[in-house]
A and B are shown apart, each in its own frame.
Chain A
Amino acid sequence: MKISTRGRYGLRLLVDIAEHAEDDPIALSVVAKRQKLSEKYLQQVALLLTRGGFLTSVKGSGGGYLLKEKPDQIMIYDVLDLLEGSITFEEESDGENAIEEVLRLHFYRPLDEQVKRAFAGLTLADVTHAAWFTYMI
């Protein structure tokens, strides 16, 4: 499993908006400059995050994006799950052999559960607050 550009940019977009959120929506051009990311690409990611219920789009001049919920209500695991399609190692394939099945049931599936547990309760607010990641290192 590799996290795609979409997953990485999407999270940086959310973190940026969470850190700079006032009452006014934030334009993607501003985020693009601040994060040194392509604005075109951010537009695609923002659309996905809006459809997924993490962002709200405000049209018109002075328009841009706002977080749909408070950062402490946005679960990182859910964001990644949306951006990546899924963040699991387990893949079911047609005609898998006995060894593949054992690996899937006894390694990849419990591994996915472990990842889910590791992310349980981790919110966007935790990521934007330094307190969380100092004890990670």
Chain B
Amino acid sequence: MQTLVYLATCKENCSIRKISEATGISSGYLEQLMIPLRRAGLVEADRGVFGGYRLGRTGITCQDVLIASEGVFRPAPCKECQKNGLCKTHQIWSLLQTAVSDFSKEVLIEDLAAHLVDRGTGGGI
């Protein structure tokens, strides 16, 4: 999430080093985080002198990022539970899951980035 918000404030490609400085996330770990984000098309990368990362598209939501990096949010490990249809507490986890996904698909990375830019703390601007 931090990486995406930061990239949304950058006008040009951003190196891993620059992202690492802004987010405090180690370069090695960032490289790993980028793999599923690239696969999901949320970030794109160029090689070479002016290489680096940028957002893959506009309109990326927090839910897009969370699903790409952590998978679908499941508050309880009920998938394997055979009592799904019978267990009444299961409905509580569904409610929680729906609340989280409904909210996170409404929040745009760009909007979060705008808050950062408002404070003059965005990257690359």
Instruction: Count A-B pairs with CB separation below 8 Å.
Output: 88
Contacts of A76 in B (CB 8 A): 92
Residue of chain B at shortest CB distance from A14: B89
Q: Is the CB of A106 within 8 A of B95?
A: no
Interface-side segment among A24-32, A43-51, A54-62, A112-120:
A112-120
Distance of A38 from chain B, by nearest CB (Å): 16
Interface of B is mostly: helix
Q: Does A103 contact B5, Cβ atoms closer than 8 Å?
A: yes
| Most chain B C-beta atoms within 10 Å of own C-beta, residue among A98, A110, A118, A127 | A98
Interface size on B, residues (CB 8 A): 32
Give B53-96 as 1s and 0s: 1 = Cβ < 8 Å from A's Cβ atoms: 00000000010000000000001100000000001110111111
Q: Which residues of B approach A to under 8 Å, CB–CB? A: 1-2, 5-6, 22-24, 62, 75-76, 87-89, 91-96, 98-100, 102-104, 107, 111-112, 115-116, 119, 121
